[in-house]
Amino acid sequence: MTVRQVTPRQLAEAIGVSESSLKRWSDAGKIEVSRTEGGHRRIAIGEAVRFIRASRAHVVRPDLLGLPRSSATGEALTELLVKGESRAVIAHISAQFLDGVPVAALCDGPLRAALTRIGELWRETVEGVMVEHRATSVCVDALATLRTLLPDSAPDAFSAVGGAPPGDPYLVPSMMCATALHDVGIRAVNLGPESPLEIIARAAREERAQLAWVSVTSPPAPETLAILESFCDDLSKNGTTVVLGGRQRDHLMVPRSARSAGTIGELVAIAAEFKLVKERVR
Ligand code: B12
């Protein structure tokens, strides 16, 4: 169940503090509340999560925020992904996220490590392909859950678009780019796998994007390579910087107008370098 807003009592119980402390923080402007028609306080889930992460509060009742409780088994993320335990993976990842770990660090750290291990363990077997598809689907669920917990981007937020090129079926890397950029306040539109560069360019124009990412995991098709330079140059002329990344990025000729980066953390760092990440007040 997706929780869109919580009461001060629910948030207080979720982080194990008294309701009066929470009301005091709201009166002091540390947490933004809205009022119902009857005058009762309500807190948007994205604001509640922002407050939890910024104040380093410890979540004791994730269920009150609409999240599964952490798995009691203590199983490692890789094992949970191998078994396709979606709820346990969401609990694992969202607990770290609520503890203040940036989305980029979750992507470059535990998620990447677990998927790399799965790629090695299950290579070239029929069961392995099933495990890889299922683990991918669970990662998609976990990343989608993180996005529902992030505050809506501000009306004046910068925007970014991206995807993976034709012939590239990989769902997770591009979704990671979008979720990590959203985490730093950028409006990020993920077009997903099999996105022709012309479509990414069109979306960038429509969104007036300052940044476009292209995530390349499969060896890129000759048609993609043939137009990569003009794609990057044309977007750059229109104020969109292209960032190329993914496992195959070292096999790409990076045009002077574009950037190349190895991790999701570096993508966020490039966005910060271009001043697309606004300091959050409070
Ligand atoms: C899941 C999976 C699949 C699934 C994909 C399902 C789906 N719809 O997404 C399926 C089963 C379809 C699949 C198929 C194949 N796969 Co596969 N697959 C994987 C696996 C296990 C996970 C992929 C993933 O999501 N990784 C998670 C991402 C986040 O990790 P990452 O790509 O390293 O990304 C990091 C950085 O590169 C960077 N990054 C990524 N994108 C971007 C973008 C930008 C802009 C920036 C800045 C940074 C950035 O940040 C990320 C986080 O740190 C990998 C193992 C692995 N190590 O990744 C193998 C792997 C990629 N697959 C591999 C292979 C061989 C294949 C097949 C050829 C198998 C076959 N014999 O048919 C096919 C080819 C498919 C194709 N058309 O290309 C090999 C590739 C080896 C190589 N030479 O590169 C790997 C590495 C497994 C292995 N160890 O052998 N696969």
Q: Render each residue's pLDDT in the chain as its tens digit; 282 residues.
A: 677 899 999 999 999 999 999 999 999 999 999 999 999 999 999 999 999 999 999 999 999 999 988 765 567 999 999 999 999 999 999 999 999 999 999 999 999 999 999 998 867 788 888 999 999 999 999 999 999 999 988 889 999 999 999 999 999 999 999 999 999 999 999 999 999 999 999 999 999 999 999 999 999 999 999 999 999 999 999 999 999 999 999 999 999 999 999 999 999 999 999 888 976 544
Query: Cα separation of 240 and 234, whole Å?
Result: 9
Cβ-based neighbour number of residue 206 at 10 Å: 11
What is the per-residue pLDDT for 122? 67
Backbone angles phi, psi at 243, to 5 degrees: -115, 120
Q: Which atom of ligand 1 is nearest to the CA of 167?
A: 77
Query: Cα separation of 198 and 202, whole Å?
Result: 6
What is the per-residue pLDDT for 71? 63
Where do you find CATH 1.10.1660.10 in the chain? 5-65
CA of 170 to the centre of ligand 1 (A): 6
What is the per-residue pLDDT for 278? 77
| Closest to 204 (Cα-Cα) out of 252, 242, 167 | 242
CA dihedral sign of residues 8, 13, 15, 20: positive
Query: Cα separation of 178 and 187, whole Å?
Result: 8
The single-letter DSSP state of residue 262 is S
Q: Which CATH superfamily is domain 159-273 in?
A: Cobalamin-binding domain (3.40.50.280)
Distance (Å) of CA 241 to CA 83, 190, 208: 39, 16, 11
What is the per-residue pLDDT for 123? 73
What is the per-residue pLDDT for 281? 44
CA of 228 to the centre of ligand 1 (A): 21
Q: What is the DSSP pairing of strand 41-44 with strand 34-35? A: antiparallel
The single-letter DSSP state of residue 66 is T
Query: Cα separation of 268 and 108, whole Å?
Result: 12
Ligand 1 pocket (Cβ < 6 Å) reads 107-108, 112, 115-116, 118-120, 123, 129, 132-133, 136, 169-173, 176-177, 213, 215, 217-218, 243, 245-247, 261, 263-264, 266-267
Lookup: tokens for 59: 């979540």
Query: Cα separation of 211 and 208, whole Å?
Result: 9
What is the per-residue pLDDT for 73? 59
Q: What is the pTM of this model?
A: 0.94
CATH for the 5-65 domain, from 1.10.150.250, 1.10.10.10, 1.10.1660.10, 3.40.50.300: 1.10.1660.10
CA of 189 to the centre of ligand 1 (A): 21
Distance (Å) of CA 78 to CA 81, 121, 139, 147: 5, 10, 11, 22
What is the per-residue pLDDT for 282? 45
The single-letter DSSP state of residue 64 is G
What is the per-residue pLDDT for 72? 55
Query: Cα separation of 273 and 98, whole Å?
Result: 26
The whole-angstrom distance between residue 117's C-alpha and the CA centroid of its chain comes to 21
Where do you find CATH 3.40.50.280 in the chain? 159-273
DSSP assignment of 43-63: EEHHHHHHHHHHTT---S-GG
